[in-house]
Chains A and B, each alone.
Chain A
Amino acid sequence: MWTSTWKSLWARRTRLLMSTLAVVLGVAFVAGSFIFTDMLKGSFDGIVKGTVADVEVAPRTDVAVTSSGTAAPLISTDTVAKIGAVPGVKKAVGVVNAIGVYAVGTNGKAVASFGPPQLGMSWTTLPAYGGQPGVVLKSGHAPRTDDQIAIDPTTLEKSGYKLGDTMRVVTPEKGTIRATVVGTATWGSGGTVGASYIFFTPSRAQALLTDGRDAWSGVKVETEPGADRDAVAAAINSFLPANFQATNGATIAEQVTSQINDALKYINTFLLIFAGISLVVAAFLILNTFSILIAQRSGELALYRAIGASRKQLRNSVLVEAGVVGLAGSALGVVAGIGVARAIMYFMTLGGYDLGVSQLRVPPRACGDLGVHRADRHPGRRPAAGPARHPHPARPGDDRRPLRTAPGPGRPDRAGTVHGRGRRRRNPARSVRPSRA
């Protein structure tokens, strides 16, 4: 009986393919919508978690101080040293971050895309939250002298230069400078989703990206294992200048995540409406296709009944057929959904939301949308590593590279500030929530 069922299925494979196609289309749109929104969430999640240190010291965001560039608040090296002496602090590193730092390609044009930021920052090897990798060197070596820089591999490729070449870099305050590319590096292990990173030595970063004093736009703090990050932050706050604040990295991650989720909500709703419509259409299509298939088979089914097949056997054979079509169609539909999600990304790119080159290779897990709105303020939307592969944002194990995201996307003040945003990149993000949150 099963043999004949399979043979019968096989003989009608063309028609079955068509009905499978109906299933695939229906599932693909729904799956694509979910995958896309999950990709968005996943990338932002990864960005947030990967770029925040155990404790971040940044300009206050509850004070209406919107300043950037040389006008941004700075924190002195003495204060950094004081922070390093706080009990529970393993290491404190002053960092400098700025947006609007462009690499200039061999063709004389700045390597840039609309949406993702072009970031300049001081080289640091402090780990991200919970001890995860911060900046990871991909090739060459870190900048050791002030005329050396490291940039992210994608930007280097786009620029047309190679390691060892001297290239021009446009800075927001100090004009165009020349520097030798000695290494490539990214945050964590992910891509960049269109953002570009240029790493300077700390002293060069101070000279180029702030007013030139020996001061920092923020401090990243690595705590001793087991230390209470909240307590450490409070201890630091007790002597910080009024316009700076130390915050547990987990708190920042939560705030940023909830802001991002709010911003993503309308995208989810929008896409789910379409997914819902396509699901309903697909359901009718599939129902109809099966009805036709069964009608065409009614003669054969009657024959089976006449020679002794029971209703149950026939029902099972029809159900198996439906099951095979449904399973195969759904499996293909999920795969096609990944394609749909990519297509959405692609059309967003055409629409001006350039996610950058990494998108082709790496499925866009991070989408530009949010990034576009806030691009100015957040330095990094992080490149996700492959969007498609990690549909679930929450997975702690993903390697998304830490973004250098600005401190809090939500905090306006610092966003604009050169300094403000960049500091959190060094701790490993993943442990963020479990530990402290």
Chain B
Amino acid sequence: MTAPAARAAGLTKTYGRGDTLVTALDDVDVSFEQGRFTAVMGPSGSGKSTLMHCMAALDRPTSGQAFIGETDVATLSDNGLTELRRDRIGFVFQSFNLVPTLTARENILLPLAIAGRKPDPDWFDAVIETVGLANRLTHKPSELSGGQQQRVACARALVAQPEIIFADEPTGNLDSTSSAEVLAFLRSSVDEMGQTIVMVSHDPVAASYADRALFLADGHIVDDLTDPTRDHVLATMARLDQSPDRPHPVKGRTPSPRTVRTPRPTAGSGISGVAELSN
């Protein structure tokens, strides 16, 4: 493998202070290889979303470094971060976050429009074909199903050909059929287009599409599976949930991912962790 697409070194993130100090990430070292599909798993409050936000420069680490390629995101200015997000990172959000006033095509091309670049027609066609949206391009998001909207969001992330795509619970708002479509699409974009994807998820099924599953608990990486299967993931999560310091001992089976979903920090805006960017 070549140099990692992204890596963290001694990454620590704390919230609050004194008695209310919460350590979301505690000295995490991890790298994400190019051309692979990595799932970041973990129970609520394990720090997986925080890890993604710090890696994607949506949040600033308390200490340690996060690298995209060879770039330490902590050293970038606001403009530098803007360019980083614009040219080198793609995002897929749980709540899709499409611009409701634009058609599917315009949403997909929005990052290029913002960057002032022309889309590569061949690449655009390839992405559209992979996502299976060719006959939906003129529809507004409100005229698309949840699964279709998320595929539009994935196409939007892909079309700019970023170095890495961060997907934050991309199947969290989808039914199982739509989840399978989206995951299959992410999988194929890695296999056929060589895309690098980091996905945060609760869903063991989602993790089974990945090349690798990282498990976080209490701000630490506690396990690292290669080519995870659903059963592997379930077993690992059950083990984590039963560890002594977890607040909710679960008998028998793993709690459904949907019931344990991490509260979204900015549920109102629908964009977790990025609201602060707008100020």
Contacts and interface: CB of A to CB of B under 8 A. Distances in A.
Contacts of A299: 268-271, 275
Contacts of B91: 306-307
B279 to A, nearest CB: 8
B114 A303 contact: no
A230 to B, nearest CB: 70
A304 interface: yes
A311 interface: yes
B277 interface: yes
A7 B102 contact: yes
A302 B85 contact: no
A399 B163 CA distance: 72
A11 to B, nearest CB: 4
A8 B98 CA distance: 12
Given A7-B102, A298-B278, A307 B110 contact: yes
Interface in B244-279: 268-271, 274-275, 277-278
A16 B249 CA distance: 53
A312 to B, nearest CB: 9
Given A299-B271, A302-B271, A302-B274, A4 B99 contact: yes
Nearest to A7: B101
Interface string A276-306: 0000000000000000000000111111111
A6 to B, nearest CB: 9
Chain A interface extent, by class? 20 to 34
A303 B271 contact: yes
A12 B124 CA distance: 29
Interface string A7-21: 110110000000000
B27 interface: no
A3 interface: yes
A10 to B, nearest CB: 7
Given A11-B100, A306-B91, A311 B78 contact: yes
A305 B269 CA distance: 13
Contacts of B106: 3-4, 7
Nearest to B162: A308
B82 A309 contact: yes
A8 B99 contact: yes
A306 B58 contact: yes
B102 A307 contact: no
A292 to B, nearest CB: 15
Nearest to A309: B114
Interface in A1-50: 1, 3-4, 7-8, 10-11
Contacts of B278: 298, 301-302, 305, 314
A300 B141 CA distance: 14
Interface string B92-108: 00000101111000100
A258 interface: no
A11 B113 contact: no
Contact of A300 (B79, B99, B114): B99
A306 B114 contact: no
Contacts of A269: none
Nearest to A302: B278
A294 to B, nearest CB: 9
A298 B269 contact: yes
B277 A307 contact: no
Interface in B53-99: 58, 78-79, 82-83, 85-87, 90-91, 97, 99
By CB atoms of chain B within 10 A, which of A1, A302, A313, A314 has the most? A302
B102 A306 contact: no
Interface in A252-291: none
Contacts of B85: 305-308
A106 interface: no
Contacts of B9: none
5 contacts: A299-B268, A306-B274, A308-B114, A309-B86, A310-B82
Return the 6 tightest CB-CB contacts between A and B, nearest first: A308-B86, A11-B101, A305-B277, A299-B269, A302-B278, A301-B278
Given A3-B106, A305-B277, A309-B82, 6 more contacts: A4-B110, A11-B101, A300-B99, A302-B271, A305-B85, A306-B97
Interface of B: 58, 78-79, 82-83, 85-87, 90-91, 97, 99-102, 106, 110-111, 113-116, 156, 160, 268-271, 274-275, 277-278
Interface of A: 1, 3-4, 7-8, 10-11, 298-311, 313-314
